[in-house]
């Protein structure tokens, strides 16, 4: 049985295992990594001082095979509750350590109530068996209680205490969680092999030949995000959860499209365009999407990929040429709004750049043939 420390201070009481952490059994991250390519407004919001986000109790408590009802606190006095728990402990019931099941590595949480999907609520008997430590987590206002999200139909996927993704489709969330459960349960797992690819024309996270998730139009449109950027965020969150460093956006894009650098480079001044042009036809006949990672150039062949670097800050992203321009000298490259955000040139407007021309890694990219199972 773990060593227990009893504390009484005002209305607080707890018995805590010396290896337990406040609010969670996990020591991982409680939020998705900083979003890639944020808008100017998002960057301003990010600078504001915010209260720390605590890992949902559903991730720690429900992940132990338990679900706690935090909707209504019992009116029983604190003293009565302490006595009840002490009586149970005195009767020689299972210790806290024995009562708590080993946490599953992957959990799906409903964001609206921060409860694990599919779990049932604890009865009073089960609460008592967990002792003072668990009771201390149930107190309203206790650190670890997360205010329900305003999104009623949003589902979070957590891996080892790290928030990987949040999507509005429960079925998709559970399918992805099932894939990730198999992944982390594999004794031969090498997390460094986690990478991005294109599966049937759709950005996907994979390891070897196994597709873990895809970012199709349905998810991208629901979340109002660029598919490639979102796929990179999810993969990086998963890599971090499994102890691997995240990929840069440019590296992830090169993996995704199976591209390698050539010795051909261009440089000059880059601007960006959107607004009036959004939804209009580009020079190659496509519909211009200011949130896609594309660019306009006067001479480069359509579908040329460029790794563009903002020389003011070293930020890089990869764009595909699908339009002609710019026609305001001395500018030589016109980026989409999304591309400008990725290299942090949206506020500056015009920046000096250097670009490397990329080419396919092989005549027929193997990642383009990767199949997926409708995740």
pLDDT at residue number 98: 47
Total residue length of the chain: 375
pLDDT in tens, the chain (375 residues): 443 333 333 333 333 333 333 333 333 443 444 578 877 555 555 555 444 445 666 565 544 444 444 444 445 566 666 666 666 665 555 554 444 455 688 999 998 878 888 653 444 554 444 444 334 434 443 333 333 334 457 999 999 999 999 999 999 999 999 999 999 999 999 999 999 999 888 999 999 999 999 999 999 988 889 999 999 999 999 999 999 999 999 999 999 999 999 999 999 999 999 888 999 999 999 999 999 999 999 999 999 999 999 999 999 999 999 999 999 999 999 999 999 999 999 989 999 999 999 999 875 444 444 444 445
| CATH class of residue range 259-360 | mainly beta
Pairing of strands 259-273, 331-336: parallel
Domain boundaries along the sequence of the chain: 259-360
Containing 268, the helix (H) or strand (E) segment is strand 259-273
Contact 133, 22 (CB under 8 A): no
Give which of 138, 13, 150 is closest to 67, Cα–Cα: 138
- CA distances (Å), origin 358, targets 41, 142, 307, 323, 363: 32, 53, 7, 17, 13
The structure tokens 């400008």 sit at 340
Cα–Cα distance for residue pair 317/1, rounded to 1 Å: 53
DSSP 13-49: EEEEETT-BTTBS--S-SSPPPPSS--HHHHHHHHS-
| C-alpha gyration radius of the chain | 25
Cα–Cα distance for residue pair 79/171, rounded to 1 Å: 44
Give which of 7, 36, 2 is closest to 17, Cα–Cα: 2
SS3 318: strand
Give which of 223, 210, 39, 70 is closest to 138, Cα–Cα: 70
């Amino acid at each position: 049985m773990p060593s227990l420390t009893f504390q009484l201070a005002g209305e607080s009481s707890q018995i805590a295992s010396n290896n337990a952490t406040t609010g969670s059994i996990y020591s991982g991250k409680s939020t998705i990594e900083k979003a890639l390519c944020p808008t100017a407004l998002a960057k301003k919001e990010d600078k504001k001082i915010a209260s720390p986000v605590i890992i949902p109790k559903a991730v720690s408590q429900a992940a132990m095979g338990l679900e706690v009802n935090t909707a209504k606190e019992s009116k029983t006095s604190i003293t009565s509750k302490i006595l009840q728990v002490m009586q149970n402990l005195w009767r020689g019931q299972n210790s806290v350590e024995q009562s708590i099941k080993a946490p599953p590595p992957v959990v799906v949480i409903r964001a609206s109530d921060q409860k694990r999907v599919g779990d049932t609520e604890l009865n009073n008997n089960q609460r008592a068996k967990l002792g003072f430590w668990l009771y201390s987590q149930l107190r309203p206002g206790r650190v670890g209680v997360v205010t329900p999200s305003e999104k009623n139909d949003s589902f979070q996927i957590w891996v080892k205490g790290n928030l990987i993704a949040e999507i509005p489709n429960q079925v998709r969330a559970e399918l992805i969680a099932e894939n990730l459960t198999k992944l982390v349960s594999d004794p031969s797992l090498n997390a460094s092999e986690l990478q991005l690819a294109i599966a049937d024309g759709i950005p996907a996270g994979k390891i070897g030949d196994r597709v873990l998730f895809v970012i199709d139009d349905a998810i991208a449109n629901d979340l109002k995000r660029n598919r490639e950027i979102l796929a990179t965020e999810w993969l990086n969150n998963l890599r971090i959860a499994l102890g691997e460093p995240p990929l840069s956006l440019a590296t992830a894009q090169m993996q995704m499209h199976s591209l390698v650098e050539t010795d051909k480079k261009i440089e000059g001044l880059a601007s960006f365009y959107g607004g009036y042009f959004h939804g209009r036809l580009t020079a190659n006949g496509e519909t211009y999407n200011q949130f896609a990672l594309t660019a306009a150039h006067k001479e480069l062949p359509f579908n040329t990929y460029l790794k563009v670097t903002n020389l003011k800050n070293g930020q890089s992203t990869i764009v595909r040429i699908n339009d002609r321009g710019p026609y305001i000298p001395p500018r030589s490259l016109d980026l989409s709004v999304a591309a400008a955000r990725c290299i942090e040139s949206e506020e500056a407007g015009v920046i000096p750049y250097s670009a490397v021309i990329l080419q396919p890694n092989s005549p027929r990219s193997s990642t383009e043939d990767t199949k997926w199972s409708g995740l």
